[in-house]
Structure 1
């Protein structure tokens, strides 16, 4: 598919909201937040494209909420904007009790990425340690190619099955299996099995908290 200028556009990502998630949490619109961050840094779409390696057409679709970015695309955008993933989570209205070291179950924001949703567990004070649950539907994955950024990762499969690739090796993980690997090690994951998967995912600080 081509746009009005004749540029080849990348295929649309899967439709939003397919990944499993608890009903109590709320999803965040991505496009407007990415556009706001880009403009705050006085970057054009072309400049963001050069920084991130993502085509102008795909960036435009993401900003207009026409397409949902894969994990790889969102990670590249985060790094290009020098922004942590947590900035894309919708702020939840404060209750009567506001403790910055606590994240209440009903106050977990969710970021929807098509067949993959990220549910934030980290408390507001945990700026350099990110805890989340990945809800991975059938067909879900981290996207094409391997991810790599300066933060150690670990976690455990809570439900279902995934295949985790770390460097040149793959592991088939089932509920109860845990994992950990070092900073900047190329990695990827994909859903396997019949039921949706849930993965407890930890991102530990190394330098800047760039995340999955």
Structure 2
């Protein structure tokens, strides 16, 4: 099975773009993108959405995400998925329907996790379920613990890190399209 890095490299080459061109268009560093293509670094969903846009391909070609056709989502029934096997994983919480604008995931981040620095269009809202996480947004650190939340403009440079001694669980809701499956038909 083709790993994420191999998919990134293949679609970049098919688009006839250099690492520098894709990195610049996706708002990432060349070094980070190179590591991602070699499966040496995990990639956040927001960075993958930016890369997909730079490559002019649907996000679903880069990562296999579970569909969420039903408007309800239940603990223990959601399929976990990851961008790369570095310990972080996601559970899809929201469905897609014509006109939907928000996308929600539950993120599980291992001890020591640190994301790449990224910018993207839209709002981002996070709510911490467990652990300690530090979000750095536009150069300002926000230390968040269970019950804390943060809402910010995704166009500001931001990254996050698990700064505690246990895994972190965070609900992230945003307007950046991270699910591009075919929208479910509206209920009659």
Partners of 1:57 and 1:201 lie apart in 2 by 23
Task: Say if 1:141 and 1:109 are closer, same or farther in 2 by CA, change over 3 A.
Answer: same
Partners of 1:35 and 1:69 lie apart in 2 by 15
Runs of 5+ in structure 2 lacking a partner?
180-188
Q: 2:79 matched to 1:108?
A: yes
Task: Say if 1:58 and 1:148 are closer, same or farther in 2 by CA, change over 3 A.
Answer: closer
Is contact 1:84-1:210 (8 Å) kept?
no
| Deviation string, structure 1 residues 25-78 (Cα, Å, up to 9, x no partner) | xxx942354356446xx313x53542224549954x644x64234438646523
Partners of 1:56 and 1:175 lie apart in 2 by 33
Q: Which has the larger radius of gyration?
A: 1
Match of 1:134 among 93, 107, 125: 107
TM-score (norm 2): 0.69
| Deviation string, structure 1 residues 142-178 (Cα, Å, up to 9, x no partner) | 12xx321111000200000011112132111101101
Is contact 2:52-2:62 (8 Å) kept?
no
Aligned length: 170
Aligned-residue offset at 1:108: 2.7
CA root-mean-square deviation: 3.5
Equivalent residue number for residue 31 of structure 1:
5
Runs of 5+ in structure 1 lacking a partner?
1-27
Partners of 1:36 and 1:30 lie apart in 2 by 10
Give the secondary-structure state (helix, strand or coil) at the position aligned to 1:101.
coil
Match of 1:163 among 134, 137, 142: 134
